[in-house]
């Protein structure tokens, strides 16, 4: 590898949430593959989830390292070990969690001062606002990492710019999102930012926005061909460089990389992979609603009933909740796994999603439309059933169903806000799930066209990451920018 890159040291500071950490670890590995030194800062609980991946990459000769910084739970009044958003039981602890994140700044800066070579650039999650100050102290550029696509980021930007929320009175009446390269409608209830509405979080929101304005650029886990002009439109809107460098999950090429990505796989996962080997190509529905899924047990039971009644082979991933035995009792009382034996498998806990989605037996993906999952579905050339829960997921659903035309809506109309799950109750009934599955696997013209578009998009995703592809070229431009030094114009 050429010597200039060996002196490039990129620092990665992810938000401590699975959907944010996993793509940043992949991104760090891609930069390290190109010869740049990559340092990822995280905490002990989170390091356990990604240590195997980093160690394997390091043994393969990549200049990548993982640095653990203690998370000050006790200092801010959090229970010990509550180091990731997927562990937090309620939004009441969110402010304490962000306070603890802020206390990582000083030890990270102390560690950085002792490093050789010194940092050349900081890539931090949008929510790690204090890293803007850290970058200034070290005289290096800071790039924001958005854990979502430009289609969603631009939508949120335009909604704010045009004060749409103020002028729309009805929560459920669809309205046109202004200024988008491809127009679409959404309801006020489905807007991003409606998942956590806490007054005590506002102080952080202001700091996040201020740090976003000060950044030198933005890196996005997406690819140009997916975004339909939104990257250029967003770049013009904010006056900063936007580099799409994904799908970063495609750096996981061998089975061990895929299987251990993100966390330790559940014991059910290996049995599931062997079972998938016995299934017909493109016959199985993979159903997973994400690491932050907090749906009530009664809603998950409806999902189980729908999968069972569909007669389609399936893999159902259930997030394991400590102390919540209601769903588990239902599974036993209904003898659910016994009834679907040979046709369906239930995985409790963490599943190696990239490995499973890329298995030839998987033919469709029932997803919550989190951006990582959506992109992983695209990479595996899968048509999707969309079940958004909160945040920007309803906007991602529009991209999948209306713009890319590779998805079928399950029919959910309102978000499930964190802390209000029981108030919302059941939003999707079993028969609606059966309808969506039948539509997805249908062999009519619409179904065939959907599968054809998904296959074409999967091929474009792979091409983007290959030498000469749009994302591979953008990665080269990021490295050139870093090597040119900090005194550059924004665009």
Token pair, residue 211, equals: 């740090």
The 10 Å Cβ neighbour count of residue 43 is: 20
My answer on whether 444 and 426 are in the same domain is yes
- Inform me whether the pLDDT recorded for 294 exceeds 90: no
**Position 257 in a domain:** no
**Position 441 in a domain:** yes
Peptide bond into 117 cis (omega under 30): yes
My answer on whether 316 and 419 are in the same domain is yes
**Position 28 in a domain:** yes
**Position 376 in a domain:** yes
My answer on whether 227 and 342 are in the same domain is no
Per-residue pLDDT tens over the stretch 135-193 = 999 999 999 999 999 999 999 999 988 887 677 888 899 999 999 999 999 999 998 76
**Position 490 in a domain:** no
Residue 480: exposed, middle, or buried by beta-carbon count in 10 A (0-12, 13-18, 19+)?
exposed
My answer on whether 242 and 93 are in the same domain is yes
My answer on whether 337 and 239 are in the same domain is no
Looking at residue 193, the DSSP 8-state letter turns out to be T
Yes or no: say if 276 and 361 are a contact pair by the CB < 8 Å rule. Answer: yes
My answer on whether 148 and 229 are in the same domain is yes
My answer on whether 149 and 274 are in the same domain is no
Separation between Cα atoms, residue 480 and residue 287, nearest integer Å = 41
Under the banding of pLDDT at 50, 70 and 90, the label for residue 126 is very high
Full domain range(s) for residue 335:
262-462
My answer on whether 235 and 353 are in the same domain is no
**Position 489 in a domain:** no
As a residue count, the chain comes to 491
Yes or no: say if 228 and 403 are a contact pair by the CB < 8 Å rule. Answer: yes
Angle between helices 470-484 and 445-465 (to 10 degrees): 30
My answer on whether 348 and 244 are in the same domain is no
**Position 491 in a domain:** no
- Inform me whether the pLDDT recorded for 250 exceeds 50: yes
pLDDT at position 491, please?
Answer: 37
Per-residue pLDDT tens over the stretch 451-464 = 999 999 999 999 99
Tell me the CA distances in angstroms from 269 to 154, 341, 415, 423, one per residue in order. 37, 16, 30, 33
pLDDT at position 135, please?
Answer: 97
pTM for the predicted model, two decimal places? 0.94
pLDDT at position 168, please?
Answer: 80
Per-residue pLDDT tens over the stretch 403-449 = 999 999 999 999 998 888 888 889 999 999 999 999 999 999 999 99
**CATH classification of the domain holding 74:** 3.40.50.2000
**Position 24 in a domain:** yes
My answer on whether 207 and 300 are in the same domain is no
pLDDT at position 199, please?
Answer: 61
Which residue, 274, 247, 243, is CA-closest to 261? 247
Separation between Cα atoms, residue 380 and residue 27, nearest integer Å = 19
Give the pLDDT mean for 204-212: 90
pLDDT at position 195, please?
Answer: 47
Token pair, residue 333, equals: 């009382």
My answer on whether 410 and 478 are in the same domain is no
| Domains of the chain: total | 2
* Residues β-bridged to residue 125: 145
For the chain, what percent of residues have pLDDT higher than 70?
92
My answer on whether 477 and 379 are in the same domain is no
Under the banding of pLDDT at 50, 70 and 90, the label for residue 58 is very high
pLDDT at position 402, please?
Answer: 97
């Amino acid at each position: 590898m050429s010597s200039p890159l060996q002196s490039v040291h990129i620092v990665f500071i992810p938000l401590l949430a699975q959907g944010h950490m996993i793509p940043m670890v992949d991104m760090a590995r891609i930069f390290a593959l190109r010869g740049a030194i990559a340092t990822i800062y995280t905490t002990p609980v989170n390091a356990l989830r990604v240590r195997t991946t980093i160690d394997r990459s390091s043994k393969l000769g990549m200049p990548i390292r993982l640095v653990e910084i203690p998370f000050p739970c006790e200092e801010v009044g959090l229970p010990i070990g509550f180091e990731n958003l997927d562990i937090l039981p309620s939004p009441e602890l969110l402010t304490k969690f962000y306070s603890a994140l802020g206390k990582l700044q000083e030890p990270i800066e102390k560690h950085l001062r002792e490093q050789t070579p010194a940092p050349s650039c900081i890539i931090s999650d949008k929510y790690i606002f204090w890293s803007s100050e850290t970058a200034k102290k070290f005289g290096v550029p800071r790039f924001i990492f958005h854990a979502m696509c430009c289609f969603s980021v631009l939508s949120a930007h335009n909604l704010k710019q045009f004060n749409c929320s103020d002028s729309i009175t009805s929560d459920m009446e669809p309205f046109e999102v202004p200024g988008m390269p491809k127009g679409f409608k959404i309801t006020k209830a489905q807007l991003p930012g409606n998942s956590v509405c806490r007054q005590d979080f506002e102080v952080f929101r202001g700091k996040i926005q201020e740090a976003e304005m000060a950044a030198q650029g933005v890196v996005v886990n997406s690819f140009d061909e997916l975004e339909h002009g939104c990257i250029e439109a967003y770049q013009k809107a904010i006056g900063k460089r936007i580099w799409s460098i994904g799908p970063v999950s495609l750096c996981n090429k061998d089975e061990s990389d895929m299987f251990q990505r993100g966390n330790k796989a559940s014991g059910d996962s290996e049995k599931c992979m062997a079972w998938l080997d016995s299934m017909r190509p493109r016959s199985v529905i993979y159903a997973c609603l994400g690491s932050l899924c907090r749906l009530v047990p009664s809603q998950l039971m409806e999902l189980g009933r729908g999968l069972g009644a569909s007669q389609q082979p399936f893999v159902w991933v259930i997030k394991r909740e400590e102390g919540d035995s209601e769903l588990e009792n239902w599974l036993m009382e209904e003898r659910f796994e016994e009834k679907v034996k040979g046709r369906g498998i239930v995985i409790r806990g963490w599943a190696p999603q990239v490995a499973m989605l890329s298995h030839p037996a998987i033919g469709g993906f029932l997803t919550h439309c989190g951006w990582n999952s959506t992109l992983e579905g695209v990479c595996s050339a899968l048509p999707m059933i969309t079940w958004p829960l909160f945040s920007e997921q309803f906007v991602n659903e529009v991209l999948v169903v209306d713009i890319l035309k590779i998805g079928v809506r399950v029919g959910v109309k309102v978000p499930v806000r964190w802390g209000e799950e029981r108030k919302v109750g059941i939003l999707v009934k079993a028969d609606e799930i059966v309808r969506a599955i039948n539509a997805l696997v249908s062999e009519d013209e619409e179904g065939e066209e959907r599968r054809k578009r998904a296959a074409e998009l999967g091929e474009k995703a792979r091409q983007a990451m290959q030498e000469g592809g749009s994302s591979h070229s953008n990665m080269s431009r990021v490295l050139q920018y870093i090597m040119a030094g900090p005194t550059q114009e924004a665009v």
